[in-house]
């Protein structure tokens, strides 16, 4: 029974914001960049030379999700969804995400679409974002929502998996 409860405590869907959560776009949001984007000396840059990079632990975090067969998704409020998708392609991570809601709208709309597309209940989701207004909004749905202060780290990710599991186990009592 304990193993069954632990299995149920694993998030069925982990959702990430993009700007200042998975990547840094030269200290700004991706919709403030200046395309075209190019790969130069193994760096992704915009026209002005702003460097776009994933935070150091992101590849390990995505691999953990793959290894544990946890679906992952994106929920990003941006005025330039095409630019965000281009950057995902340049970073070669587009294929990692089962679902992507990338458009200028409320995170509530993003999560309604993710819930419908994935079939997972909000309580089975774990969400990471760098804006407290989004954390507050999405938490109200029942999603375990984690504030990302300085980009995703493995430490924050694994602590959050534990937090989600504890929350799910408490709700099963």
Active site residues: 17, 19
CB 98 within 8 A of CB 73: yes
Sign of CA dihedral 23, 28, 34, 38: negative
What are the start-end ranges of the H helices in the chain? 2-9, 58-67, 81-90, 107-118, 132-139, 154-172
Can you read off the two tokens belonging to residue 145? 């929502």
CA 81 centroid distance within chain: 15
**Distant-in-sequence contacts of 111-117, Cβ < 8 A, 24+ apart:** 111/15, 111/75, 111/138, 111/141, 111/143, 114/13, 114/15, 114/73, 114/75
132/146 Cα distance (integer angstroms):
9
How long a stretch of residues is the chain? 173
73/125 Cα distance (integer angstroms):
10
């Amino acid at each position: 029974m304990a193993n069954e409860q632990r299995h149920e405590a694993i998030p069925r869907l982990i959702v990430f914001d993009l700007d200042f959560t998975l990547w840094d776009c030269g200290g700004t949001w991706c919709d403030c960049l200046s395309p075209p984007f190019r790969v130069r000396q193994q760096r992704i840059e915009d026209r002005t030379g702003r460097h776009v990079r994933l935070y150091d632990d992101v590849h390990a975090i995505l691999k953990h999700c793959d290894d544990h067969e946890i679906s992952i998704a994106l929920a990003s409020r941006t005025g330039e969804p095409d630019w965000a998708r281009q950057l995902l392609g340049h970073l070669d991570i587009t294929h990692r995400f089962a679902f992507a809601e990338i458009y200028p709208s409320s995170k509530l709309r993003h999560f309604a679409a993710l819930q419908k597309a994935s079939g997972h209940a909000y309580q089975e989701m774990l969400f990471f974002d760098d804006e407290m207004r989004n954390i507050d909004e999405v938490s109200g749905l029942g999603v375990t929502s984690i504030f990302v202060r300085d980009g995703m780290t493995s430490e924050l990710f694994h602590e959050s998996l534990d937090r989600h599991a504890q929350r799910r186990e408490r709700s099963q009592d």
